[in-house]
Amino acid sequence: NAGVTQTPKFQVLKTGQSMTLQCAQDMNHEYMSWYRQDPGMGLRLIHYSVGAGITDQGEVPNGYNVSRSTTEDFPLRLLSAAPSQTSVYFCASSPVSNSNQPQHFGDGTRLSIL
């Protein structure tokens, strides 16, 4: 019962490099989302998706791109990493929108930008 799987768990990048954070879920959840967690800031929503082919911006979308070609996968792309993007990133999924079902979270990706 894998749930939400995030890879990698840790990553160090240099400023200007690009990378993709992977997120996959095996629960057939329509709703998926990406958050970043910074000290004192809680979890801030980056992008979310209510189904395959549909994505939308959250609270802090600048510097990040997403796509949702399948129900299972929701990768987060950093096109040109900046030190301000150093953070812990969480991917989450939940059943159909407007639901009382909680989100299932991945274990997080700790990303450092030098």
Partner 1 sequence: AQKITQTQPGMFVQEKEAVTLDCTYDTSDQSYGLFWYKQPSSGEMIFLIYQGSYDEQNATEGRYSLNFQKARKSANLVISASQLGDSAMYFCAMREGGDRDDKIIFGKGTRLHILP
Provide the minimum distance between the beta carbon of 15 and partner 1 in the complex, in angstroms, as a whole number: 26
26 versus 107: smaller Cβ distance to partner 1: 107
Say which residues have a Cβ less than 8 Å from residue 14's Cβ, sequence separation at least 6: 81, 113, 114
* Closest separation in Å from C-beta 69 to partner 1: 17
Which positions touch partner 1 (CB under 8 A)?
31, 33, 35, 40-45, 48, 50-51, 54, 56, 58-59, 88, 90, 92, 94, 97-100, 102-103, 105, 107-108
Q: Which is nearer to partner 1, 54 or 79 (CB)?
A: 54
- Hey, which residues does 35 pair with through a beta bridge? 45, 90
84 φ, ψ (degrees, to nearest 5)? -65, -10
Q: How far is the CB of 45 from partner 1 (least distance, A)?
A: 6
Closest CB to partner 1 among 25 and 33?
33
**Could you tell me the smallest distance in angstroms from the CB atom of residue 110 to partner 1?**
9
Distance CA 71, CA 96 (A): 12
Q: Which residues pair with 37 in a beta bridge?
A: 43, 88
Helices (H), the chain: none
SS3 84: helix
